[in-house]
Amino acid sequence: MNQEHFDTLETRDPQQRERDLMARLPAQIAHAKANAPWFAESLREIDPAQITTRAALARLPVVRKHALIELQKQHRPFGGLVAARWGRLGRVFSSPGPIYEPEGRNPDYWRTARALFAAGFRAGDLVHNSFSYHMTPGAWILEGGALALGCTVFPGGVGQTEQQLQAMADLQPQGYVGTPSFLRILLDKADELGLKIPALTKALVSGEAFLPPVREAFAARGISGCQAYATADLGVIAYETPAREGLVADEEVILEIVRPGAGDPVPDGEVGEVVVTTFNTTYPLIRFGTGDLSAILPGISPCGRTNLRIKGWLGRADQTTKVKGMFVHPEQIAAVQKRHPEILRARLVVTNPDSSDAMTLRCEGGGDAATIADSLRELTKLRGAVEFVAPGTLPNDGKVVSDERKYD
């Protein structure tokens, strides 16, 4: 490592990077075919040795995030997509859906050290981790990278705001990882309690939009915040750098932007779905459709990193929506309605008043709002309000989850 970049891979000639990635691709496809049953079937007519260009890769099928729930129901526990058995896995997680995700035993399995370094984290830093350590992988994703980078981690988790603040005041961490909304809650509560955290100068946030007003509020407190785009399936996909111009793709993935609902790459600059091929041998995802929308940002970052850049998160290609770092699926809302047959129709509306995610389940019909809210929380792992509306009020557009957040 040097002072500016994590390693020399980040500053490679772009054409050399492309040659390197394409040279590695056939072996990864062969590995997936040989060890993951779903890929053995879906790629049975494919000769891995022939997949050496992006055009050839684009002819392979896309497996989409929203299909994982059904795939995993049919083939427990991982839908036939994982190329390792229990003894070779370090941990297994459960995200809402449920969707089960494996973690291999190699250090920095999720490849977050690079993103942390770009955000200013260095060996010797104390990092306060406020992602959840319970069942879901968020906290472990960031912890693995921090430990690999040489940092020490305080496992704050979620909730218990005053106890977390007391630990921060006592230990004086240099860095924070978690959602931006929870860091804002911590800082506001620190003001209320008269607690000082002057050592905190950097943050790597993820799980929700990092809106300009929140970023500016952190900067006013002397905290430089960067964002990482990561999923529990793929690890880090792209990350922000000090240039603040889009997100730079990770060095260990092949990133495509394709037409939503299809697999055809769109021209640079056009909005489409983020599709990723990873070189992870434990979970060898080939053309995994994240369901997220973004677009290629032309040119090379002023920070000197030469990999392609994306504009950031621009919405969802399907109705699956991320709220406070957790995915909410239409299937979960259907489960709430099935549990409460008095609900005739339901629609989950996601908003972000005051730059903080909120969700409201609008229901046609009757029932007890508190009981329905309890079911919503149990099934999604998130708190939400319940609002009753008159029959026929909800739009007849097939939407079960409506993301109505504003980002301007």
The two structure tokens encoding residue 40: 């053995």
**CA gap 173, 337 in Å, rounded:** 44
Tell me what pLDDT residue 408 has: 63
CA 45 vs CA 24, 33, 60, 284, 288: distances in Å: 20, 10, 10, 18, 19
Which residues are 362's β-sheet partners?
A: 347, 387
- Between strands 321-323 and 247-249, the pairing is unpaired
Tokens 């929700």, residue? Answer: 208
Would you say residue 360 lies in a domain? Answer: yes
Q: What is the largest CA-CA distance in the chain?
A: 65
End-to-end CA separation in angstroms for the chain? 37
User: What is this structure's pTM?
Assistant: 0.81
| CA 356/CA 345 separation, integer angstroms | 26
- Work out how many domains the chain is built from and give that number: 2
Give the chain's count of helices (H) and strands (E).
11, 21
Q: Is 272 inside a domain boundary?
A: no
Domain match, 63 and 115 both: yes
Q: 247 with 358, same domain? A: no
pLDDT profile of the chain (408 residues), mean per 10: 84 98 98 97 97 97 92 95 95 93 96 98 98 95 98 95 96 98 95 96 94 93 96 96 96 93 86 94 97 92 97 81 87 89 92 91 94 96 95 80 84
Q: Is 27 within a domain?
A: yes
Same domain, 106 and 236: yes
Instruction: Mark whether 190 and 326 lie in a shared domain.
Output: no
Whether the Cβ atoms of residue 326 and residue 298 lie closer than 8 Å to each other? no
Asked whether residue 259 is assigned to any structural domain, the reply reads: no
Give whole-number Cα distances, 36 to 44, 84, 362, in Å.
12, 8, 41
**Judgement on whether residues 25 and 85 belong to the same structural domain of the protein:** yes
Domain-located, residue 274:
no
Same domain? 15 vs 78: yes
- Shared-domain flag, residues 20 and 107: yes
The string of DSSP codes covering 58-126 is: TTSPPEEGGGHHHHHHHSTTTTT-----GGGEEEEEEETTTEEEEEESSTTTT--HHHHHHTT--TT-E
Residue 1 is predicted with a pLDDT of 43
DSSP run (H or E) holding 127: strand 126-129
Matching residue, tokens 């229990």: 86
Return the DSSP state at 328. Answer: E
Can you give the pLDDT at residue 316?
Answer: 77
Distance of CA 386 to the CA centre of its chain: 27
pLDDT at residue 140, as a whole number: 97
The packing angle between helices 330-339 and 369-380, to 10°, is 140
Quickly list H helices, 150-282.
Answer: 161-171, 180-193, 212-220
Domain limits at 221? 8-252+279-285+299-314
Q: Which of 34, 38, 15, 14 is nearest to 26 (CA)?
A: 34
